[in-house]
């Protein structure tokens, strides 16, 4: 019988002793070490788990550190006064240090068997996510082999039940178990596969690639709020262009974003935005949204045509509305995205048009100009136009500052002297 999440065998793990790997405790978060040590001293298994082990082995700085243990959530809570239990679907312990630092502690879980499940089918989902197990059973429940490596704080060794070390060395992304089954269980794993491949520079295993082709349509069943957050994670991790390009190539993108498809020009724009984010400019959702729909907007409302600003307002709203409604995007965010699209339309028409002064002072104009410049980065004529607009913005800002400094101070109102009011009338 093969090693699968449903039937992990008793095959002994690969254990790499401290002398043969590069993970050092000095690279692990101090508060995470405190949690690991206390669990270990109380007789529980205490492992660093998941992406943090992967990143440390790759010489990268982990985004966060998670802990796995055989202590139940209630047992963890008894050990730490600063512990709070969270989650109904997946019960976790959060150990808090100060106002912002949280160490997440998860109890090892296993795949629920039919005999484990309660009689009421409505309770199956939440119950099956909280069936506790061994470290080996927990490893086989995880998504990718490179995310199922454990670091044992007691022996300082790496423990590998699923072949993750070999895949790490080969720079290959492989699903634990059958990709068709695992993608059916959680279709968002398909997007995560593309994200990890792009972030780490790993190749996709052929079985993963084939699984995405065959199960692409299932991702439309995922919760819109979850997809929306995963999309923004792509932008935050600076891989939006590469991942969405690959997603379209594999037939995943239309199912992922409610029928959305793009031309190569849009993916090139997203690549430039990823570089902008990598240079230190935080990405905001309205900026990403405007970038996704800029090409479609300019095709529907070409600046060199007869369309007016009123037409641009209407068309921008029509183009954004289906996406924003499906993903429940707030009116504030969609308004900012719409203003950026309208701004790009006005920028493309050039200077000297009616309402220019008001447009220069609009709060979204600088971001519109930034998006416009990224869109036209390989067009010398449009790049020159963008520079003219920058100069116009600078002149307008200097003019406002000069007027502000030259304006006379308002007259101070003299206080009213007592007894000088209206005389009282005799009653």
Catalytic residues: 64, 66, 143
Distances, alpha carbon 275 to alpha carbons 56, 162, 269, 364, in Å? 24, 35, 10, 21
How far does Cα 399 stand from its chain's mean position? Answer: 40
Q: Are 346 and 353 in contact (CB under 8 A)?
A: yes
What does the alpha-carbon distance between residue 296 and residue 303 come to, in Å, rounded to a whole number? 13
What does the alpha-carbon distance between residue 398 and residue 239 come to, in Å, rounded to a whole number? 38
Angle between helices 309-326 and 331-349 (to 10 degrees): 150
How far does Cα 155 stand from its chain's mean position? Answer: 34
Of 2, 10, 11, 6, which is closest to residue 140 (Cα–Cα)? 6
For the beta carbon of residue 16, count every other beta carbon within 10 angstroms: 17
Q: Are 341 and 294 in contact (CB under 8 A)?
A: yes
The alpha-helical segments, DSSP class H, found in 216-362 are: 224-236, 240-249, 253-256, 264-278, 285-300, 309-326, 331-349, 356-360
């Amino acid at each position: 019988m093969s090693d699968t999440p449903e039937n992990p065998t008793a095959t002994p793990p690969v254990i790499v002793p401290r002398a043969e790997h590069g993970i050092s405790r000095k690279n692990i978060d101090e508060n995470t070490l405190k949690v690991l040590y206390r669990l270990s001293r109380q007789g529980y298994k205490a492992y660093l788990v998941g992406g943090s082990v992967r990143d440390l082995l790759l010489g990268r700085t982990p985004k966060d550190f998670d802990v796995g243990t055989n202590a139940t959530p209630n047992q963890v809570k008894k050990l730490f006064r600063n512990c709070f239990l969270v989650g109904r679907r997946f019960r976790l312990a959060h150990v808090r240090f100060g106002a912002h630092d949280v160490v997440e502690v998860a109890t090892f879980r296993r795949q629920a068997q039919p005999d484990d499940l309660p009689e009421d089918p409505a309770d199956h989902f939440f119950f099956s996510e909280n069936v506790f197990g061994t470290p080996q059973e927990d490893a086989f429940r995880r998504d990718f082999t490179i995310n199922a490596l454990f670091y044992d704080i007691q022996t300082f060794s790496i423990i590998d039940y699923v072949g993750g070390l070999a895949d790490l060395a080969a720079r290959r992304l492989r699903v634990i178990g059958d990709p068709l089954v695992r993608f059916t269980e959680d279709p968002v794993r398909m997007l995560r596969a593309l994200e990890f491949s792009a972030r780490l520079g790993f190749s996709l295993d052929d079985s993963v690639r084939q699984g995405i082709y065959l199960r692409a349509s299932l991702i439309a069943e995922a919760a819109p709020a979850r997809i929306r957050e995963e999309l923004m994670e792509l932008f935050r991790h600076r891989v939006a262009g590469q991942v969405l390009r690959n997603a379209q190539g594999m037939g995943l993108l239309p199912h992922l974003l409610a029928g959305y498809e793009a031309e190569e020009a849009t993916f090139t724009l997203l690549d430039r935005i990823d570089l902008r984010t990598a240079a230190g400019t935080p990405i905001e959702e309205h900026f990403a949204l405007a970038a996704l729909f800029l090409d479609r907007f300019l095709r529907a409302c070409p600046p060199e045509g007869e369309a007016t600003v009123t037409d641009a307002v209407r068309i921008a709203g029509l183009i954004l509305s289906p996406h924003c409604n499906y993903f429940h995007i707030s009116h504030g965010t969609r308004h900012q995205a719409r203003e950026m699209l309208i701004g790009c339309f006005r920028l493309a028409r050039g200077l000297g048009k009616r309402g220019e002064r008001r447009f220069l002072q609009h709060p979204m104009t600088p971001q519109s100009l930034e998006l416009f410049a990224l869109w036209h980065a390989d067009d010398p004529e449009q790049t020159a136009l963008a520079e003219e607009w920058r100069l116009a913005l600078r002149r307008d800002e200097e003019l406002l500052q000069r007027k502000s400094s030259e304006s006379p101070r308002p007259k101070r109102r003299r206080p009213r002297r007592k007894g000088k009011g209206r005389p009282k009338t005799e009653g």
